[in-house]
Amino acid sequence: MARVTRVANHWSAEEIAERIQQATHSWHRLAWQVIFTAFQDPRPAAVIARQLGVSKGVVHNTNLCFDEEREGGYRTG
């Protein structure tokens, strides 16, 4: 059984959704969607990747960056 992908909950769902809306580039928006999906419904990275149309590596790397940044969130600029 695959491990479940989760993100640290140092942000609320509303704050993450706001970041999705404020993203100016499609890649930034997609990264925030990965974070939001893992936050709302933790599942294996392969399932999240298939849902959003990215690779498992993108899911892992995005979540890793988000977890490392803490209150700073995901660096998009």
Burial status of residue 73 (CB atoms within 10 A of its CB: 0-12, 13-18, 19 or more): middle
| Averaged pLDDT for residues 23-41 | 91
- Is pTM beyond 0.95 here? no
Q: Where are the domains positioned within the chain?
A: 4-72
Per-residue pLDDT, 73: 54
Q: How does pLDDT run across 9-22, given as a tens digit for each residue?
A: 778 889 989 999 99
How many whole angstroms separate alpha carbon 1 and alpha carbon 21? 34
Other C-beta atoms closer than 10 Å to the C-beta of 34 total 25
